[in-house]
Amino acid sequence: MKPPVPHLPASPPALSDSDRDALHDLYVRGTPENTLRAYERDLVYISAWKALRSIHGRFEAALSWPEKEDVALAFVLDHSRDLRDAPAEDPARQVAEGLIGQGLRKAATCPAPSTLDRRIASWRAFHRMKNLASPFDSPMIKQARAKGRRANATKRAPKSAHPITRRVLEAMLETCFGTMRDCRDRAILVLGFASGGRRRSELTKLMRDDVDMREFESKGLVWISLVETKTTIKGETPRLVLKGRAAQTLVHWIETAEIKDGPLFRPVSKADRVLQRGLSSDAVYQIVQRRLKLAGYPDGFASPHGLRSGFLTQAALDGAPIQAAMRLSLHRSMGQAQQYYDDVDIAENPAADLLD
């Protein structure tokens, strides 16, 4: 059995040692890796914030379980305003400067509401792990958070400056010629787009066993099994389908690289030899940037997330029903997917041409 993960709060003391270890192991196995990493970062940040707040305020340095409401309220207030113009003796500003010095905070400006929401969600999750009520559920704190969210609302920055639509993707694919590196890059780009806009982590975690080619010869279909995604859990992620050119491109990579098992996408040496280990997420970023540059696009034009936003944008441009697109993109929120459709729909809305 795996030892308890150190960044998860301790279990209720009433449990035996073996039950406590089993509960921690259950949390680890039942929680996506990205969420565990977020928990770890947030717990470090929250602990550092309270330790610094204790120096400049009336709080104890260590986290309490359950946490007191005045601590939770101070956390919300400290992160709901721009502290650059606050007096030098303001405790919130002093704590912010301390966090900046520790590399835990970038600036004294007001954090994005989504960042504060995530940290609060983590803090609440820590309370649930210990079977305790969270102070963030109190009416006063919930109201303060709602007011702060409205006061600091800003337009959400896209994860990719531009979507990688079909036109952009075609230009990138034209830079892939006949080497093994070209063959791999073509397969990554096509799979990343055509399977619904896959995230970097989803692409790099794919194994050869996750690709089912039994229907390729008869129907031209390739089935992809993702173990889990950001919005789905292990065992409940639906299979995704590739067809036509996308299926052919992936099969060509698998057969040309002679991949029988192990990671689906791998590094290629300078001698154009396929290595055995899997690709890193950063490698996918470098591949996208390189192909964009070779296709003539400027630096920073798009990130790997552009494959995801590009898939939905192209689906909207082609008139595909949003429900059909979401079955491949695996978006959990209709509102998030709808944003891409709204950008396209409003440009095509006849009411926008009234003056002309």
**Residue/partner pairs of 341-347 with CB below 8 Å, 24 or more apart:** 341/312, 341/315, 341/316, 343/313, 343/316, 344/313, 344/316, 344/317, 345/316
Q: How far is CA 73 from the centre of its chain?
A: 28
* CB-facing half-sphere around the CA of 301: CA atoms within 13 A: 20
300 in the same domain as 182: yes
Q: CATH number, domain at 50?
A: 1.10.150
Residues 329 and 198 in one domain: yes
Claim to verify: residue 172 and residue 126 sit in the same structural domain = no
Buried b / exposed e over 213-249, threshold 16 CB at 10 Å, is eeebeeeebbbbebebbeeeeeeebeebbbeeebbeb
* 19 is a domain residue: no
pLDDT-derived band at 344 (thresholds 50, 70, 90) equals low
Give yes or no for a cis peptide into 139 (omega within 30° of 0). no
Q: How much is the average pLDDT of 54-65?
A: 85
Over the chain, what is the mean pLDDT? Answer: 84
For 179, 256, 334, the CA distances from 149, given in Å and listed in that order, are: 51, 52, 21
**Based on the domain organization, do 179 and 327 belong to the same domain?**
yes
Closest of 182, 189, 217, 227 to residue 330, by C-alpha: 227
Of residues 123, 103, 110, 109, the one with CA closest to residue 50: 123
Distance set, CA 99 to CA 44, 48, 94 (Å): 11, 7, 9
Distance CA 7, CA 43 (A): 7
Question: How far apart, in whole angstroms, are the C-alpha atoms of residue 5 and residue 11?
Answer: 11
Can you list the positions of beta strands (E) in the chain? 211-212, 221-224, 240-243
Q: What one-letter code names the amino acid at 167?
A: R
Tell me which DSSP letter residue 297 carries. P
Q: Residue 34: what pLDDT?
A: 75
Q: Is residue 12 part of a domain?
A: no
User: In which domain, by residue range, is 242 found?
Assistant: 166-350
Share of the chain above pLDDT 90, in %: 35
Q: How confident is residue 324, by pLDDT bands cut at 50, 70 and 90?
A: confident
Domain endpoint, select from 151, 176, 207: 151
Contact of 224 with 206, CB cutoff 8 Å: yes
- Please tell me the distance from the alpha carbon of residue 75 to that of residue 66, in angstroms, as a whole number: 15
**Band (331; pLDDT cuts 50, 70, 90):** confident
198 and 335 fall within a common domain: yes
Final residue belonging to a domain, choices 151, 180, 202? 151
Single-letter amino acid code for the residue at 103: G
Give the pairing of strands 221-224 and 240-243. antiparallel
**How far is Cα 9 from Cα 43, in angstroms, rounded to an integer?**
9
Q: Do 140 and 177 fall into the same domain? A: no
Instruction: Give pLDDT, residue 241.
Output: 87
Instruction: Give the confidence band of 233 by pLDDT, cuts at 50, 70, 90.
Output: low
Q: Please provide the size of the chain in residues.
A: 356
The verdict on residue 20 lying in a domain is no
pLDDT of residue 290: 94
Mean pLDDT computed over 30-58: 85
pLDDT tens-digit series, residues 245-299: 999 999 999 999 999 999 999 999 999 999 999 999 899 999 999 999 999 999 9
18 lies in a domain? no
DSSP 305-355: HHHHHHHHHHHHHTT--HHHHHHHH--S-HHHHHHHHHHHHHHH-GGGGTT
Kindly report the backbone phi and psi dihedral angles of residue 154, in degrees, each rounded to the nearest multiple of 5, phi listed first. Answer: -135, 160
**Range among 34-43, 48-57, 182-191, 322-331 rated most confident:** 182-191
SS3 270: coil
Give how many domains the chain has, as a whole number: 2
How many whole angstroms separate alpha carbon 235 and alpha carbon 227? 7
Contact 110, 78 (CB under 8 A): no
Domain of 272, CATH number, reads 1.10.443.10
Range of weakest confidence among 38-42, 164-168, 223-227, 242-246: 223-227
Instruction: Based on the fold, state whether residues 173 and 51 are members of the same structural domain.
Output: no
Locate tokens 């296709």: which residue?
295
pLDDT: is 110 or 3 the higher one?
Answer: 110
User: Torsions phi, psi of 211, nearest 5?
Assistant: -110, 120
Q: Same structural domain for residues 59 and 204? A: no
Q: State phi, psi for 224 to the nearest 5 degrees.
A: -115, 130
pLDDT of amino acid 333 = 73
